[in-house]
Amino acid sequence: MKEFIEGSMAVARGVAVCRPHVVSAYPITPQTHIVEHLSEMVADGDLDSQFINVESEFGAASVVLGAAAAGGRSYSATTSQGLLLMGEVLFNIAGLRLPISITVANRAVSAPINIWNDHSDAMVFRDAGWIMLFAEDNQEVHDMQIQAYKIGENPEIMLPVLVNMDGFILTHAYETVETISQKEADDFLPPFKPEYYLDVNKPITMGVLGDPNYYLETRYSLQEAIDESRDVVKQVAREFKEKFGRWYGDLIDTYRTEDADTVFVAMGSLVGTIKDTVDELRDKGEKVGLLKIRCYRPWPGEEVVESLKNIDNVIVLEKAVSLGASGMMADEIKASLFDTPHRPKISNFFIGLGGRDIPKESLIKVYNQVKEKPQYNQFVDLKPELLEYPS
Amino acid sequence: MSDTKTKKKRKEKPPIEEPLLAPGHRACSGCGESLGAKLVMDAAGPNTYATCCTGCLEVFSTPYPESAWKMPWIHSLFENSSAVAAGIEAALIAQGRDKDVNIIAMGGDGGTADIGIGCLSGMLERGHNILYVCFDNEAYMNTGVQRSGLTPFDARTSTSPPGKRSWGNKTTKKNLPGIAGAHGIPYVATATVGYPNDLINKVKKALKIQGPKYMQVHVPCPLGWIHPTDQTIEIAKLAVLTGLIPIYEMEYGEVTRVRKIGKNRRPVEDYLKPQGRFRHLFAKGAEAEEELEKIRQIAEDNIKKFGLA
């Protein structure tokens, strides 16, 4: 059904049709609308879930951990400081191989406190063993919820999934969304039936001590599982297209790259702005395209290499900085290309941090700079007057 | 009187059930916590789910590939056994698997009173049908006897050592049962491995009550308290008989029953002297009379407050 709804509602609807047993969350802007919508559905009897209000995001993550350990499908949503506070639990969830799904309304991290969008929060957890998907718009983030469970709960994978959507830009934006009906969801997503879970009829011990004789292999298995999830992410995207007719790419997507000499690379809602910019530049005869990273973890190295094999200039736009190093995604693109015969010039920029607006003009400016010469670790739209010390 | 008649009448003893916490784990000799956990699980019986904080209990019972737990049991992190238990309860309800089961969340004093107090408070406030059991051995034993919020006054720990300017731990035990009771929950109890029947009865009683329950079980640690391993029960009893560890029950925040010590009361020195963690108070030329007086006062206050006399 086509509905004109808020991004957060699109998420809540997408989650509800997955029939989560347990939803637990703590309020934080700009995530809160998602769980407000879910709590209303529970209060109205439209969603048969246990909704647990907790004292912190640490508690929320721990509650959904316990729920998943007991064989329940569980869900939470958070952002920024809340995600950081969940941090210890997030690593634990992955180690315990619990396929929980958490939506992150991506937001900058403190200090200074800033409630607006960038990707500094999620990128902290790139090494945590979570599958990380980034949505471009509200239709995609609605559809990503059911895909997330289908990917994570695959018996060969059993990993948690972070579904990322840009805070405010998507969470608070109203768009027309084709919502998934309960029947369609039930056809697509089977009930969660883990092989191992806490049960008095078949007692198991979870969360044991793994000493140096055993720990290494748990990390190996985790790496193996997240590596294998590449195929599952692709397969689920294909199955989704077959059933629903909608396609956003699988690990990656490309836009007008066929004859391009230059491509932008980005994640999240920025992808939409770039598509408009690409169209505008194309109208002026520029051979430019876009590589959208839809799945950041596992890293789609092969797909990135394949899509960049005929490209001369790559412009990586990131909403997060690895302070003291570089752009995380730019570095990974470079690493992926290192052993290939064709190595394009990789320029990288930090853009939109803390919710700084990203107009098309800024992207065109970046494009023109790169055309002149490659650029490294540049902050887009800096205000030099703010960087001067008062005399 | 003929023997055969009485023998016939005598009920057959029920078969000894396998303990849910099996022997053969790696706890130290004389460990009060392992005894406490065994008694709690014996009292709870089958159909019990357990969560456990990081700490000695988790480490000595589950070094992969071994597990001493013959029950569904999970350890996640140091501070979240209460929240994980809440998640288990929610999932069991959602799946219709919550009938006639017990959920017990466990932690040490550090995992409960310090780092885990936020999650614990959340669990107590939300009304989950869970029994939380804090095994109080009065310091972070697993990491090497560091001070916690439940370490007693003047005790030596590795982070509250006595010295020229210190008599050891500067604070008294945080009143965690009182804090739990202040949540207005139906049942709070203190207990000790020194009186195992009392402990077992309280666990059984707690598990019959719907809603959140909190129990704090005093469990001596021969390693950290520095006493002979065969003195665990004796030391635990002395803690009660000196008035330093009051044993009581609370319902909805009000104290309802206490274990009187009456004429059996013993001077605090009888409890302190056998323990190496208080040895500095009795060293030659220590001049600790003032400190001992403060400890006597703690016992006196407990006796007055809870009517233990």
Strand pairing category for A252-255 and A288-293: antiparallel
Instruction: Report, as an integer, the average pLDDT of A72-98.
Output: 98
Q: Considering only CB atoms, which chain A residues are within 8 Å of B47?
A: 200
At which residue do the structure tokens 């920029």 appear? A349
Domain-located, residue B7:
no
Q: Considering only CB atoms, which chain B residues are within 8 Å of A62?
A: 76-77, 80, 83-84, 86-87, 119
**Residue B18 pLDDT:** 79
In three state form, how does the secondary structure of chain B look? Answer: CCHHHHHHHCCCCCCCCCCCECCCCCCCCCCHHHHHHHHHHHHHCCCEEEEECCCHHHHHHCECCCCCECCCEEECCCCCHHHHHHHHHHHHHHCCCCCCCEEEEEEEHHHHHHCCHHHHHHHHHHCCCCEEEEEECCCECCCCCECCCCCCCCCCECCECCECCECCCCCCCCCHHHHHHCCCCCEEEEEECCCHHHHHHHHHHHHHCCCCEEEEEECCCHHHHHCCHHHHHHHHHHHHHCCCCCCEEEECCEEEEECCCHHHCCCHHHHHCCCHHHHHHHCCCCCCHHHHHHHHHHHHHHHHHHCCC
State the nearest Cα–Cα gap between B75 and chain A, in angstroms: 5
Whether residue B15 has pLDDT greater than 90: no
Q: How far is CA A216 from CA A213, A297, B89, in A?
A: 7, 21, 32
Indicate the DSSP class of residue A390. Answer: P
Domain-located, residue B104:
yes
**Residue B8 pLDDT:** 56
Mutate which: B95, B102, B143, vs A, most A CBs within 10 A:
B95
Whether residue B4 has pLDDT greater than 80: no
Complex-level ipTM:
0.96
Residue B137 near chain A (CB below 8 Å): no
Cβ–Cβ below 8 Å for A209 and B58: yes
Domain-located, residue B8:
no
Q: Considering only CB atoms, which chain B residues are within 8 Å of A193?
A: none
Domains identified in chain A and CATH numbers: 2-244 (3.40.50.970), 254-387 (3.40.50.920)
**Residue B2 pLDDT:** 47
% residues pLDDT > 90 (chain B): 94
Give me chain B's average pLDDT, please. 95
Domain of B106 in residue numbering reads as 19-306
- Among A50, A89, A198, beta carbon nearest to B80: A89
- Measured between CA atoms, the residue of chain A closest to residue B75 is A207
State the nearest Cα–Cα gap between A375 and chain B, in angstroms: 44
Whether residue B7 has pLDDT greater than 60: no
Residue B279 near chain A (CB below 8 Å): no
State the nearest Cα–Cα gap between A73 and chain B, in angstroms: 8
* Euclidean distance between CA atoms B50 and B84, whole angstroms: 10
- Among A66, A207, A214, beta carbon nearest to B83: A66
Mutate which: B18, B47, B53, B88, vs A, most A CBs within 10 A:
B88
Domain-located, residue B39:
yes
Cβ–Cβ below 8 Å for A70 and B92: yes
**Residue B286 pLDDT:** 87
Whether residue B5 has pLDDT greater than 80: no
Instruction: Report, as an integer, the average pLDDT of A30-51.
Output: 98
Whether residue B189 has pLDDT greater than 90: yes
- For the CA atoms of B2, B3, B6, B12, the dihedral, rounded to the nearest 10 degrees, stands at -160
- For the CA atoms of A160, A200, A17, A148, the dihedral, rounded to the nearest 10 degrees, stands at 10
In 3-state terms, what secondary structure has residue A381? coil
**Residue A154 pLDDT:** 98
The string of pLDDT tens digits covering residues B28-49 is 999 999 999 999 999 999 999 9
8 A C-beta contact, residue B68 and residue B24: yes
Domain-located, residue B68:
yes
- Measured between CA atoms, the residue of chain A closest to residue B83 is A63
Cβ–Cβ below 8 Å for B87 and A22: yes
Q: Considering only CB atoms, which chain B residues are within 8 Å of A48?
A: 94
Q: How far is CA A323 from CA A105, A120, A327, A350, in A?
A: 22, 10, 9, 11
Domain-located, residue B5:
no
- Among B48, B84, B94, beta carbon nearest to A66: B84
Torsions phi, psi of A175, nearest 5? -140, 160
At which residue do the structure tokens 């996640």 appear? B76
pLDDT band per the 50, 70, 90 thresholds, residue B6 = low
Say how many domains are in chain B. 1
Instruction: Report, as an integer, the average pLDDT of B291-306.
Output: 98
State the nearest Cα–Cα gap between A22 and chain B, in angstroms: 6
In 3-state terms, what secondary structure has residue A34? helix
8 A C-beta contact, residue A187 and residue A243: yes
The string of pLDDT tens digits covering residues A282-320 is 999 999 999 999 999 999 999 999 999 999 999 999 999
* Model confidence, pTM: 0.96
- Measured between CA atoms, the residue of chain A closest to residue B84 is A66
pLDDT band per the 50, 70, 90 thresholds, residue B1 = very low
The string of pLDDT tens digits covering residues B137-148 is 999 999 999 999
Whether residue A94 has pLDDT greater than 90: yes
Cβ–Cβ below 8 Å for A24 and B77: no
Q: Which two tokens stand for residue B119?
A: 């999650």
Domain-located, residue B146:
yes
Cβ–Cβ below 8 Å for B88 and A69: yes
Whether residue B277 has pLDDT greater than 60: yes
Mutate which: B84, B93, B129, vs A, most A CBs within 10 A:
B84
**Residue A390 pLDDT:** 78
CATH number at residue B248: 3.40.50.970
Instruction: Report, as an integer, the average pLDDT of A325-340.
Output: 97
Domain-located, residue B240:
yes
Whether residue A332 has pLDDT greater than 80: yes
Q: Which two tokens stand for residue A380?
A: 């887009």
The string of pLDDT tens digits covering residues A124-155 is 999 999 999 999 999 999 999 999 999 999 99
* Residue A77: closest CA among A164, A153, A16: A164
* Residue A367: closest CA among A282, A248, A251: A282
